[in-house]
Amino acid sequence: MENKRWGRTLILAGFALAVAGTILAWRAMVAPRPPAGIPQAQTRSATVLKDDKPLPAFDFARAGGLRFTNTDLDGRWTFLFFGYTHCPDICPTALALMARVKAGVVERKGPVPQVAFVSVDAKRDTPELLAQYVPHFDPSFVGAVGDDAALAALVKHLGVYYVRHDKGGDAHYPVDHTAAIYLIDTKGRLLAVFSAPQEAGRMVDDYLALTGG
């Protein structure tokens, strides 16, 4: 019985890898190609997608009545990460990582990225709480939050997954969520995805290669 279960696990794993490979191959075929003669960026940890469509419209709340919308992406490179402030490990690790990435980019005189942390836990994460939590990692980092309706179009477009386990009334419920970091170009389009586990040095190298820094 154990052998049968192990066999089914291997089959499912193989199927998942085949599906992922098919999706990436399809994205590569439909992604816009650069003009002839322009060299492709060589990346070590990023999956380059080069989406030709801008991100769908979004509007998230920030502290002090501010908003975080598509216009905040115009003219700047942006790293997007989705999580929640009560996260015990993935989110603080990712934000600390992004602080190192930004410092590495600055040290190498590349285009300084905007880093935005978008909460998927509007029940607990108020804009004011995010304004206390996110700048702890870097004062320039943006913290914003939206409810499920506000998040829907953007997370669907990016392929972000999240599930809140808040049905039992426990105030300390966990949230399962995607650990990927998304790089958005200066025209508000998805350029690349950095899947977990990420490493700061490789991210800096890839970011500079992708941005021409």
What tens digit of pLDDT does each residue of 177-202 get? Answer: 999 999 999 999 999 999 999 999 99
Same domain, 50 and 26: no
Do residues 65 and 144 share a domain? yes
Total tally of structural domains belonging to the chain: 2
**C-alpha–C-alpha distance, residues 63 and 110, integer Å:** 29
138 and 93 part of one domain: yes
CA–CA separation, 30 and 52 (whole Å): 9
> What is the residue whose two structure tokens read 């992708």?
210
The DSSP secondary-structure symbol of 56 reads: P
Reported pTM:
0.80
Same domain, 75 and 12: no
Query: What residues make up the domain containing 20?
Result: 1-30
Amino acid at 40: Q
- Would you say residue 55 lies in a domain? yes
Q: 9-23, pLDDT tens digit by residue?
A: 333 334 333 433 433
Q: List C-alpha distances in Å: 27 to 51, 133, 196, 206.
A: 9, 36, 20, 19
What is the chain's length? 213
Residues 80 and 22 in one domain: no
Q: Please state, in angstroms and rounded to a whole number, the distance separating the CA atoms of residues 86 and 74.
A: 30
- pLDDT of 101 reads 98
Verify cis geometry, omega within 30 degrees of 0, for the bond prior to 197: yes
Residue 61 lies in a domain: yes
Question: Tell me, what's the pLDDT at 31?
Answer: 36
- Please check whether residues 70 and 12 belong to one and the same domain: no
* pLDDT for residue 43: 87
118 shares a domain with 25: no
In a shared domain, residues 145 and 60? yes
**Residue ranges for the chain with pLDDT beneath 70:** 1-42
Q: Is residue 35 part of a domain?
A: no
